[in-house]
């Protein structure tokens, strides 16, 4: 590393040089004072203008409007929060409704299947009823024929004997049971 050389210039210390520097200091202070006074006056005037404008009606109106705007903004934020909460509640209700719809749809499908099953059973029963009606019609025809035959034989018996007027009780009971069974099926 190369050696660093410092050279100090000799400063003569004398009374004469000190007095010059104090006069120079005074001149600097004078200049500084001359420059600072207009700056201070300008700042003071600016402060007065600012205070006057700050207390003016327009500024007061602006502050009032700003406060109203802040109040309206706060109100709108509260309303937005309430609306958001209501929306969340509505979305929860919609979710619940959707679940209910799914449940009801499943129940409806079960009911449709049950209804189809009932229709099938009803058609089957209608077929059986038709068959029974035909059988009953056939039985009624037989009863009519038997009655006609009985009436014919009764007339023959009446003519032949008075004691045979009474009909046996079993022959009348069977058609009555058939008629009662038919009424029960139709009802």
What distances in angstroms separate CA 148 from CA 138, 152, 155, 173, one per listed residue? 15, 6, 10, 16
Task: Identify whether the C-beta of residue 178 lies closer than 8 Å to the C-beta of residue 140.
Answer: yes
pTM above 0.75, yes or no: no
The pLDDT value given to residue 187: 67
Query: Across the chain, where does the E strand assignment appear?
Result: none
Asked if residue 129 has pLDDT above 80, the reply is: yes
pLDDT of residue 26: 79
Answer yes or no: are the C-beta atoms of 59 and 53 closer than 8 Å: yes
pLDDT one-digit tens code per residue, 131-150: 888 988 888 888 888 888 87
Question: Mean pLDDT, the chain, as a whole number?
Answer: 81
Q: What is the pLDDT of residues 66-96, one digit of tens each?
A: 999 999 999 999 999 999 999 999 999 999 9
Query: pLDDT of 7-39, one tens digit each?
Result: 555 555 555 555 557 778 778 788 888 888 888
Confidence of residue 162 (pLDDT cuts 50, 70, 90): very low
């Amino acid at each position: 590393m190369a050696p660093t050389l410092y050279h100090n210039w000799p400063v003569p210390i004398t009374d004469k040089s000190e007095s010059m520097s104090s006069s120079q200091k005074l001149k600097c202070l004078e200049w500084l004072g001359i420059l600072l006074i207009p700056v201070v006056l300008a700042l003071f005037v600016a402060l007065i203008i600012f205070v006057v404008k700050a207390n003016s009606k327009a500024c007061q109106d602006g502050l009032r409007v700003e406060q109203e705007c802040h109040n309206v903004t706060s109100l709108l934020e509260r309303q937005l929060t309430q609306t958001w909460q209501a929306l969340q509640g509505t979305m929860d209700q919609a979710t619940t409704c959707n679940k209910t719809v799914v449940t009801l749809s499943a129940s409806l499908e079960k009911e449709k299947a049950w209804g189809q099953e009932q229709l099938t059973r009803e058609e089957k029963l209608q077929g059986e009823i038709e068959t029974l009606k035909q059988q009953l019609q056939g039985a009624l025809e037989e009863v009519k024929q038997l009655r006609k035959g009985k009436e014919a034989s009764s007339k023959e018996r009446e003519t032949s004997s008075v004691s045979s007027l009474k009909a046996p009780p079993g022959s009348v009971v069977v058609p009555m049971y058939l008629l009662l069974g038919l009424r029960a099926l139709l009802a």
